[in-house]
Amino acid sequence: MPFVQRTFFLEEEQLAFVWLMRTFGITQGEAQRIIDRGRLLCHGETLPDKSARISGEVEVVYFEPQSRGNAPILSTPDFYLFDKPSGILVHPKKMTTPYSMLDEVRHFGGQHANAVHRIDKETSGLLLASRHKEAERFLKGAFERKAIQKSYRAWVQGRVEKAFSVDAPILLNDDYGPTKHKVFIHDQGKRAYTSFMPLQYDERLDATLLECIPHTGRTHQIRIHLFHVKHPILGDPIYGTSYETAEAYLEERLSPEERQRHTGADRLMLHAYSVEFNYKQHWKLFSRNDFSQEKTAIAPPGKREFNLTNGWKIETEKPEEVLS
């Protein structure tokens, strides 16, 4: 487990945040966050404030990365580029999270390295991570300014023969319980625009590989837009499934076999394929993963319990919001 608790003994009294900075080679802000989160204990009790002085036995809970060998595919003096597997979080969700990509980022880059954007746990593909704070500020700012262009690959249900785009506003769901959908297509949502282009069609699987280019950055944008046009991403356990299937997935009760049967694949068939940006020079970077070969995770039509081209049974209390 990446978060560990270690005991130290201080012979001389000193400021807690200064000791943390010197011991772990971190900034004052990082040291103060450890104290704020109750991760520094003196004589078994959490410290009351950041200016406290400590001595004697102290305990620190901190992140100690544990690599699983997912090395960066590109390393520069400023950033790393990783090819994230599907099913892996970018950041630990809680202190008991056994593994995330942050383990690899910190293992290779040290304490100041950090992922600069998010990818859904289910999505595989490119992840940028800064190697120092200056790069982190720049790259995070570039993502916020939409100065970094991304493209994705997705295996979707059915045949798609022509390029198309979806310009449909997305509204965050304020009542996640009834449908399990995190977002909806809705007139009151924020503008969302995505371009799609078919790359290949697999007749045996009745599945099309699409290039997906999001021109805006809304939550689940590609997933909801493809569901909206009735070509959902295969393996999506939220958009296009029943309430029961979505609930089983979220509660980690959905087996790989059940997931293939109810969603068409045993993982979300979405892959972050490329990133393009300017940072000291022009970069256009691509995943090394041949996502076209990932179709082995897709169940053939005869083993799926849905067929959207013949009408998808939507079990939701808000169908008009999903399919508007």
pLDDT of 48: 75
Class of domain 74-144: alpha beta
* Concatenated DSSP letters of 232-280: PBTT-SSTTS-HHHHHHHHTT---HHHHHHHHSBSS--EEEEEEEEESS
pLDDT at 322 over 70: no
> Which residues are registered as beta bridge partners of 193?
167
Average pLDDT over residues 21-34: 87
Q: Do domains 74-144 and 149-322 have the same CATH topology?
A: no
CA proximity to 135, closest of 91, 90, 217, 77: 77
CB 194 within 8 Å of CB 221: yes
- HSE toward the beta carbon, residue 287, CA cutoff 13 A: 21
What is the domain partition of the chain in residue ranges? 3-63, 74-144, 149-322
pLDDT of 1: 55
For the stretch 168-219, pLDDT in tens is 999 988 776 667 788 889 999 999 999 999 999 999 999 999 999 999 999 9
For the stretch 111-160, pLDDT in tens is 889 999 999 999 999 999 999 999 999 999 999 999 999 999 999 999 99
- pLDDT-based confidence at 62, cuts 50/70/90? confident
Q: Which fold, 3-63?
A: 3.10.290
Q: Could you tell me the CATH superfamily of domain 149-322? A: Pseudouridine synthase (3.30.2350.10)
How far is Cα 137 from Cα 131, in angstroms, rounded to an integer?
11
pLDDT at 277 over 90: yes
The residues assigned a catalytic role are 120
Average pLDDT over residues 216-244: 92
Chain mean pLDDT for the chain: 88
For the stretch 280-313, pLDDT in tens is 999 999 999 999 999 999 999 888 876 443 333 3
pLDDT of 268: 96
pLDDT of 94: 81
